[in-house]
Amino acid sequence: MTNWQDRATALYNGGFRPMFIGGQWCEARSGAVIEARNPADGSLLATVPKGEAADIDAAVVAARAAFEGPWSKFTPFERQALLLRIADKFEEEWETLCLSDTLDMGMPIQRTLANSRRVLGMLRFYAGQAVAIHGETIPNSFPGEIYSQTVREPVGVVGAIIPWNAPIAGSIWKIAPALATGCTVILKPSEEASLTVLLIAKIMQEAGLPDGVLNIVTGHGADAGAALAAHPGVDKIVFTGSTATGQAIARAATGNLKRVSLELGGKSPVIVCRDADIDKAVPVAAMAVFANSGQICIAGSRLFVAREIHDEFLRRVADYAANLRIGHGVEEGTDIGPIISARQAERIAGYLAAGPQEGAEVLTGGARAEGAGLDGGHFFQPTVFGGVTDEMTIAREEIFGPVISALPFDTIDEVVERANATPYGLAAGVFSTHLGTAHKLAHRLKAGSVWVNMYHAIDPAVPFGGVKMSGYGREGGTEHMEEYLDTKAIWINAD
């Protein structure tokens, strides 16, 4: 059995980890640093540079030089070969990457390890897409012997900003399609979880990534992130995070009308019909929220249950939640790890207080988790609220914590209307053994992804993204490549 704690001590011991600009490892121009602390116990893992606008300027210069220089000469075959080498290096270093994620943001190690198929699959999927980019020859009706065709060209320098909740997958979802299309990247990770992203840059450099193609600037969103979003030398911004921040990024991007794609928040409904297979639905519906301690944009936090089975289903979900093991992410068998920070913990505590104040009933949980081994960390009991109404704060706002709000329903038409009565539209889940019911709900729900008798399924070949206030643009599938490409029309007079 792997001794993750011993490996953790060897991986991070409080030292300084520089950021990555133009192929060089460097400090921030100001010399300032940010502490990276383990959310499970508050211990210092490392310090990273506190990048600001000057560092973003340097990264843009490096990314532009690479885009217009050596990287522009890489053929599709060469870009594919590079991505495949990176995938092989990721596979070799997978346990170290997962341990870094677990230490930096708290996700249980068994969950990070299980994500290998998705991450390695993304790298190899986009490697395949690198050699599948093509234009068209288009017949036109212009007088004379005129030929028209299109070519697809990389959009240019891409600024990517990711949150703390899944650094490995979040980074690759931004970097890999950019490399496949021939773009260059400046990635700004969350100040709450930067260490794994720096490790990713090291691995990619070792795999032969040319200088300046990928640049990592660590720092706060209000400084480095805002500077990246507004920078006139950036051609595209891709962002995953809160809706409020996404709106600010979209406004900042208007300075040079850079292209923007946003994957934002959600308040996703999970609908359990009266004919659902309860034995299968209970654990899936529970972990639709409790996975990663609820720190998931697609968390199915509004649980609509048919009135005929409502009481039994809630009892069983509450029992399931009460038996989940809370602890450090490096401890094997942990189901619920820590919340990322004290600030986020205070936010969740506010929602746990608001539920009963507005009339909801705590069926299980409802408080911080305390006890042996949890000192210094930010832990919460997985919580199930019953007696919830659509108007309650816990049913309307994204909590980003291990909290389920359960609501009964009577008819399909009613639950569709209620499920869609939200500004968000990222994901939804349906549980039914009746094919017609499943189809009807899946087509009527306003969400970018709908899972039937399952949840959390994400594949590199399948597009993912939101509607309404959950953002626009898609990640995954061939649609993702379009986000990084421009179409140029070429006309040739052969007369």
User: Angle, to 10 degrees, between the axis of helix 94-105 and the axis of helix 167-181?
Assistant: 130
Written as one letter, the residue type at 134 is: H
- Catalytic one among 98, 183, 273, 297? 297
Q: Tell me the one-letter amino acid at 363.
A: L
Element (H, E) at 431: strand 427-431
The answer to whether 263 is a known catalytic residue is yes
* Interatomic CA distance for residues 142 and 125, integer angstroms: 39
Dist CA 4 CA 427 (whole Å): 34
CA torsion sign for 71, 72, 75, 79 is: positive
Residues shown for the chain: 495
- From 52, 191, 192, 263, active-site residue: 263
Contact of 149 with 490, CB cutoff 8 Å:
yes
Q: What is the DSSP string of 168-182?
A: HHHHHHHHHHHHHHT
Q: Counting Cβ atoms within 10 Å, is residue 420 exposed (0-12), middle (13-18) or buried (19+)?
A: middle
Q: Which amino acid is at 246?
A: G
Strand segments (E) across 210-364: 214-216, 236-240, 259-263, 269-272, 302-306, 361-364
Tokens describing residue 312: 């039994």
**CA count, 13 A, side-chain hemisphere, 277:** 11
Alpha-carbon dihedral sign for residues 24, 240, 157, 86: positive
User: 17 forms bridges with which residues in the sheet?
Assistant: none
CA gap 480, 461 in Å, rounded? 9
Alpha helices by DSSP H, listed for 133-264, are 167-181, 195-206, 226-230, 243-252
Positions marked catalytic = 263, 297
